[in-house]
Chains A and B, each alone.
Chain A
Amino acid sequence: MSLRATDLAYRVPGGHQLFTGLDLRVEAGQVVGLTGESGCGKSTLARILAGHLPPTTGTVLTDGYPVNAPGPRPVQLVQQHPEKAVNPRWTMRSVVAEAHDPDPALCERLGIRAEWYGRRPAELSGGELQRFCLLRALGPRTRYLIADEMTAMFDTLTQAELFAVVRDIVTERSIGLLVISHDIPLLDRLCDEIVAMPEQASAVSP
């Protein structure tokens, strides 16, 4: 049981090669950290793993199945910019309902307040909005969670608190977690294994 990327390559349309021959594996219940310099393609890799973006070559399999099979996907992505990840016209109630019917206990653990549900994304802080994105990503079918700079807009205390909750949920449900961050101490505390993005990015010319 694993999320497994084999021999991935991605070339920015009309641009340069971001990475080639990339292999990555996240086991169920495992916490893997991914780091690398800014612009090396971490967010792009996250999108490919979640099936939002097709790789130029290579495959992504979740428990042996292609990641973008129809139906709710087992890989969910929490993005760096939550304000882009939700429809700006919708209330948070619709935003969550689009994904699944959340368990009230889960909302409580993530620190989501009842009065936020009637608001639109512009009426929430980045941190509050990110909690909703996390809630949305933790549906009943989720087997792997990718957190791409998820806590960039939180203060250190909230960040630690939130990751503690996520770590617990992930362990309870045996979800594989991929944490993308520049914050090495955070990764050290959280992860079973840390991977660095290959640095070939700038060396390979188009």
Chain B
Amino acid sequence: MSHPSPAPPRTTRRRSASVDLAIAAACVGALLLAIVVTAWLLDESSLRSHAGARLMPPGPDHLFGTDWLGRDLFTRTIMGLRLSLTVGVVTALLSVAVATVLGIAAALLGGWVDAVISWLIDLSIGIPHLVFMVLVAFSVGGGIKGIVIGISLTHWMSLARLIRADVLHLRHSDFVLASRGFGRSEWFIARRHLFGQVLPQALVGFVLMFPHVVLHEAALTFLGFGFSPQTPAIGILLHEGMPHISSGMWWMALFPGLCLLLVVLAFARLGDRLRVLTSSPGQGG
């Protein structure tokens, strides 16, 4: 990102970048808090079916309407979001962990370890990952396990590649060589020089991975390879709601879909802002 004019515009741009980041983080925080608190306040009994309140459009009693069993869709949406977010966090953390460990191992150990990991990366980047993910999820038996394993096994490659390149580059950089010359141990170098570079990468990776994971989780569930139909997951709600759109029951898919979109966009924005800040080394922390 080169800019014709020198220092002053750069500082103001950087300041606005951190304000942007703060806004994005606040939005995500508020959303998460709202979901958790609402889920906690909600009465689980409205998850049960009520024969008298079937297929009601949105109104004061049922903000998002009800489904064909009379279950309150607002409650189901919030519960679904909470579940999706929890599974999303676990899955995104897992894939970032896999990426970080493999990326660092490839760069530091080199040799056949590097060869195998790089080969895996190249191989799996070539395969359309939705297909790969469905295959993995299906082969471990679907359900939560299918989601977590299917997504984390198919989403570590680009981050691992990034981290590998970073560590490789750093390992031969003048300041790491100098550090060794001052008598610093390999452990000191890994901790102070390499980790400081890898951690922001991993953090950005996590925040960017998260919305992606939540979408895939919904997609897997929607396709029938994810959560079981009894679970109030967002993917299930969408799956159930879709057939009713054509018969005029638009609210069944619309509200869960919008909520999912909102959460995903908020996270994607935060990840983007973070990436802008951390991609200028020496200026970020």
Contacts and interface: CB of A to CB of B under 8 A. Distances in A.
Interface of A: 47, 50-53, 70-73, 75-77, 79, 81, 84-89, 98-100, 120-122, 136, 139
26 contacts: A50-B181, A51-B181, A52-B180, A70-B183, A72-B181, A72-B182, A73-B182, A73-B183, A81-B174, A84-B174, A86-B175, A86-B178, A87-B192, A87-B193, A87-B196, A89-B281, A89-B284, A98-B182, A98-B184, A98-B192, A100-B182, A120-B282, A121-B282, A136-B178, A136-B182, A139-B182
A99 B184 CA distance: 8
B174 A88 contact: no
A contact patch SS: loop
B204 to A, nearest CB: 15
Contact of A85 (B175, B183, B284, B285): B175
A76 B181 contact: yes
A88 B174 CA distance: 11
B270 to A, nearest CB: 22
Interface of B: 173-175, 177-184, 192-193, 196-197, 281-285
Contacts of B281: 88-89
Given A50-B181, A72-B183, A139-B182, 6 more contacts: A51-B181, A81-B174, A85-B178, A89-B285, A99-B182, A122-B283
Contacts of A84: 173-175
**Pairs A-B, 7 closest by C-beta atoms:** A88-B282, A72-B183, A52-B177, A122-B282, A99-B182, A84-B174, A71-B183
Contacts of A51: 181
Nearest to A74: B181
A35 to B, nearest CB: 22
A87 B170 CA distance: 10
B197 A85 contact: no
Contacts of A81: 174
Nearest to B175: A87
Contacts of B178: 52, 77, 85-86, 136
A143 to B, nearest CB: 13
A72 B180 CA distance: 8
Given A79-B174, A120-B282, A73 B196 contact: no
Nearest to A53: B177
Nearest to A84: B174
Contacts of B174: 52, 79, 81, 84-85
Contacts of A85: 174-175, 178
Nearest to A86: B175
A48 to B, nearest CB: 12
A87 B197 CA distance: 10
Contact of A89 (B177, B184, B197): B197
Contact of B179 (A77, A98, A122): A98
Interface centre among B177, B180, B193, B196 (most CB of A within 10 A): B177
